Amino acid sequence: MEDRVARLEGDMQEVKSVLSRLEPMIVRIDVTLTATLPNLATKAELTSMRSELSKEISDLRTEVSKDVSDLRTDAACLRAEVTAEISGLRGDMNSEISGLRGEMITGLANLRTEMIARFADVPTKTYLWGILGVLITAYGSGLAALAVLK
C-alpha cells in the first residue's frame, strides 16, 4: 500500500508541475476570450445582418434597373431628336446647295454673255497681224520712196 501511495505522490508531483505550467496559459486564454467575445456577433445578429444586406441589395438592384431603363429611354429620345435635327439640317443644306447651284449657273451664263460681248469689241489676233503687215509694208514703201527720191 505504501508503494502505491508513493507512486501516487510521484504522479501528483507531475500533475502539479503540468498544472503550474498550464495555469498561465489558461489565464491568457480567459483574458483573450473575455476581451474578444463581447465584440463578436451572435448567430442571430449575423442572420439579421444577412437579411438586411439581402434587402438592401435587392433594393439597389431595383433602383439600378430603373435608372438603366430611364437612361435607355433618355438615349432613345435623344437619338430621335438628333435624327430629326440632322434631317432638318440636311433639308436646309440641300435647299441652300440648290439655291447656290442656281445662282452659280445664272452667274456663269451672265459672265459668258458679258465676255462674248466684250470680246466682240476686241480685235482678234488675225486682225492685229494684218494691221502689223500693212504697217510694215507701208514703212517699207516709205523707205523705198525715200531711196528713189534721194
pLDDT of residue 39: 76
Where residue 40 falls (left for φ over 0; alpha for ψ -120 to 50; beta otherwise) is beta
Domain extents in the chain: 60-123
How many whole angstroms separate alpha carbon 22 and alpha carbon 16? 10
Q: Consecutive 10-residue runs of the chain (150 residues): their mean pLDDT?
A: 85 87 90 81 86 95 96 96 95 93 94 87 85 94 87
Please tell me the number of Cα atoms within 13 Å of 108 on its side-chain side: 5
* Nine cell digits for residue 117: 460681248
Task: Please list, in sequence order, all residues whose beta carbon lies within 8 angstroms of the beta carbon of residue 123, skipping any fewer than 6 positions away.
Answer: 131
pLDDT of residue 81: 96
pLDDT of residue 134: 95
Task: Please list, in sequence order, all residues whose beta carbon lies within 8 angstroms of the beta carbon of residue 131, skipping any fewer than 6 positions away.
Answer: 123
